[in-house]
Amino acid sequence: MSRHFRTLVRNRDIYRLRRLTGVAEHWIYVCCKWGEWTAYDLERRRWIRAPNMPVEEKFMCSNNNQPLVVGTDLLVFGKGDFLLIYSILTNSWIQTTDATNFFPRCQFGSTSVGQKAYLAGGTTDYYDGVLSTAVVMYDSEEKVWEPLPSMNRARKSCSAAFMDGKLYVIGGVGSNREVLTCGEEYDFERRSWRVIDNMAEGFMTNTESVFPTAPPAAVVNNELYAAQHSYTKNNVIKYDKRNNRWITLGKLPEGSHSSRRPGIGFKACGDKLIFAVGKERVLYPFGAVKLYSWVPNEQPPVWNLIARHPSGTSVFNFAVMSC
């Protein structure tokens, strides 16, 4: 029985069955120190250390790209086309450059749904040119990368989200370093992009700085939210589809605003939004990374503290796995 169960786990059969029946467990992955990942089990309310990932120079700046969870895999992107994949099936890391049609880049927008991940835009180097390619779709079961048609506008430092069966890429910085106020929608049936003017109006943060950025976005029940956490903003905003505008719902958790910006995480987790933030040890000797949750409704957000990670004070990388 035990041998048969391990076989079901390793070949993903049990996860396919769970997906078909709508059953899922949720794990929150937090990287508080280079190379070290810890998972928080929401159901059992406990922290579990994942194996240390190979700490190499090409992965030291991986926070330029958000990690992605695709099915039972956690993808961490390094410099160039280096990629680390952590599988919960084997509890191990695999390093690969075997990504067909995937070439060196950073600052791309990314999102995932089910067994597929999408990467859009970015740059070949932090200070280099901007790309208009919707890089690829990655299928975690087939382990293949499939190129998608290019977007209408080249952009980097953008956000991406999957909503209403379509892929959205929002805001970012254009090829002439302008802060983009448009977004784009990819229709999988037509295999084409549509520009949505003013979709990113009021969306971007640090627009007056040298490095404007798009806030992390998350979708719950086909509604799009974002966390504006910067020197001047500390808001949760929601996209109004009908009127093509962003509405400020309220604040992020109290105390999360910091000019030192110790890093945040913002992801969907079932019917909840999860927000992670750290405290600088210099300012807070007993600081810890904290996890908050909120079930979006028509009221201003009320955040619930669900966990603390005492060994960490900064959020380098963050991801949520539901399988």
Domains and CATH numbers, the chain: 26-322 (2.120.10.80)
pLDDT at res. 39: 95
| Averaged pLDDT for residues 276-280 | 78
Can you tell me whether residue 247 is helix, strand or coil? strand
Query: Which pLDDT band, with edges at 50, 70 and 90, does 242 fall under?
Result: very high
Instruction: Answer whether residue 126 shows pLDDT above 60.
Output: no
Q: Residue 109 has what pLDDT?
A: 93
What pLDDT sits at residue 261?
Answer: 46
Task: Give how far the C-alpha of residue 194 lies from the chain's centroid of Cα atoms, to the nearest Å.
Answer: 23
Question: How far, in Å, are 80, 159, 214, 301 from residue 105 at the CA level?
Answer: 6, 15, 17, 35
Percent of the chain with pLDDT over 90: 52
Distances (CA, A) of 262 to 77, 99, 111, 229: 20, 32, 23, 11
Question: Half-sphere exposure (CA, 13 Å, Cβ side) for 7?
Answer: 4
Residue 284 pLDDT level (bands cut at 50, 70, 90): very low
CA 89 distance to own-chain centroid: 21
Q: Which helix (H) or strand (E) holds 307?
A: strand 304-309
Better pLDDT: 12 or 29: 29
**Two tokens at 79?**
């410099």
- Check whether 259 has a pLDDT greater than 70: no
The C-alpha atoms of residue 239 and residue 195 are separated, in whole angstroms, by 16
The DSSP H or E segment spanning 204 is none
Q: Of 50-54, 101-105, 195-199, which range is least confident?
A: 101-105
Cβ neighbours, 10 Å, residue 287: 18
d(CA 111, CA 167): 9
**Percent of the chain at pLDDT above 70?**
79
**Mean predicted lDDT score pLDDT of the chain:** 84
Alpha-carbon gap, residue 322 to 304, rounded angstroms? 20
User: In this structure, are strands 36-41 and 26-33 parallel, antiparallel, or unpaired?
Assistant: antiparallel
Residue 185, C-beta contacts closer than 8 angstroms, at least 6 positions apart: 166, 167, 168, 193, 194, 196
The single-letter DSSP state of residue 65 is S
Q: Of 200, 256, 195, nearest to 224 (Cα)? A: 200
pLDDT higher than 90, residue 152: yes
How high is the pLDDT of residue 258? 47
Q: What is the mean pLDDT of residues 100-127?
A: 80
- Which of 77-86, 153-162, 166-175, 257-266 has the least mean pLDDT? 257-266
